[in-house]
Amino acid sequence: MTQYKTYLVMLLVSGVGAWLFTPWAIRLALHFGAVDLPNDRKVHRKPMPRMGGVAVFLGFCLPWAGLYLLHNPVSTGFMDFEKRFAAMMLAATAMLVLGIYDDIKGADATKKFLVQTLVALALWAADIRIDQVANPWGSPVELGWLSLPISVLWIVGVTNAINLLDGIDGLVAGVTAVIALCLAILNVLSNNNFIALLTLCLAGACLGFLPFNQSPARVFLGDSGSLTIGIVLACVGILSLFKEGHQTASPLLSVPLILFGLPLFDTLRVMVSRFARGQSMFKADRNHVHHRLLDMGLNHKQAAWTLYAVAAGLGSTAILISRLEHGRQLVFSVVFVGLATGTYVVWKVLLRGRFPDVPRK
Per DSSP (E only), the strands in the chain are 35-36, 48-49, 132-135, 138-142
Distance, in Å, from the CA atom of 328 to the CA atom of 161, rounded to the nearest integer, reads: 29
- What are the CA-CA distances from residue 183 to residues 52, 72, 236, 351 (Å)? 23, 22, 8, 33
Percent of the chain with pLDDT over 70: 82
Contacts 24+ apart (CB under 8 A), 182-187: 182/259, 182/312, 182/315, 182/316, 182/318, 182/319, 183/236, 183/237, 183/240, 183/259, 184/7, 185/319, 186/240, 186/241, 186/248, 186/249, 186/318, 186/319, 186/322, 187/240, 187/248
Domain parsing of the chain, residue ranges: 2-251
Distance, in Å, from the CA atom of 39 to the CA atom of 32, rounded to the nearest integer, reads: 21
More confident residue, 227 or 277: 227
More confident residue, 360 or 136: 136
Strand 138-142 vs strand 35-36: parallel, antiparallel, or unpaired?
unpaired
**pLDDT tens figures, 48-107:** 898 999 999 999 999 887 766 666 666 666 666 778 889 999 999 999 999 999 999 888
The DSSP annotation for 216-242 comes to: SPS---HHHHHHHHHHHHHHHHHHHHT
227, amino acid identity: L
**pLDDT tens figures, 293-339:** 887 788 888 999 999 999 999 999 989 888 877 667 777 777 877 87
